[in-house]
Amino acid sequence: MVGPEPGTPAEAEAPAEAPVEPEAQAQAGTEPPAGSEVQVEPKARAGAVARARRAWRGWRGRRPFWGGVLVLFGGAEILFTLRAPLPIVLHIGIQGLAGYLVPAVMVLCGLLILFNPAQRLFYSILAVLASLGSWLTSNLGGFLLGMLFGVIGSCLAFGWLPDQPPRRRWLRRDRTGRKAADPAGV
């Protein structure tokens, strides 16, 4: 059934139907129409979850995700290992302030690697310098763990290349257990 096109006089003359709440229909003793169900069907929910998962994978695949996350975790770990309160650090001087500034730069670089992947080379170089600088300024780089996270993450971000074809996860095996030939010929 085709209705009048929007903006035509026939649409203006058509009576407008007010939406009826399901509770009001239940009190009136009428059944709601088939298309106006309030509950979401499990298939629709599964479809929404699948779309969200595909969107997340697409977003994650267009940026150096694991490199940015490791730099972010490295900077956060170094920040959490610092125990002195900020007024004491400011009283000690610039060396104490650098203990907070270097991991904050690492966290900022991790976020910028994630949300601005076009400038990943600059941010990853800055992150590796901050990670190595944390050895001197922040409890041996967060007891080595934060520094290692920062260095590994910035190396991953530096080496990431955009617009690469997706890799195959599993090699197919034929029935004899040998690896099958790659159909792409690579």
Question: pLDDT tens digits for the chain (186 residues)?
Answer: 455 555 555 545 555 555 555 555 555 555 555 555 556 577 778 888 999 999 999 999 899 999 999 999 999 999 988 876 667 666 666 777 888 899 999 999 999 999 999 999 999 999 999 999 998 888 888 889 999 999 999 999 999 998 877 666 665 555 665 655 555 555
What are φ and ψ of residue 173, in 5° steps? -115, 140
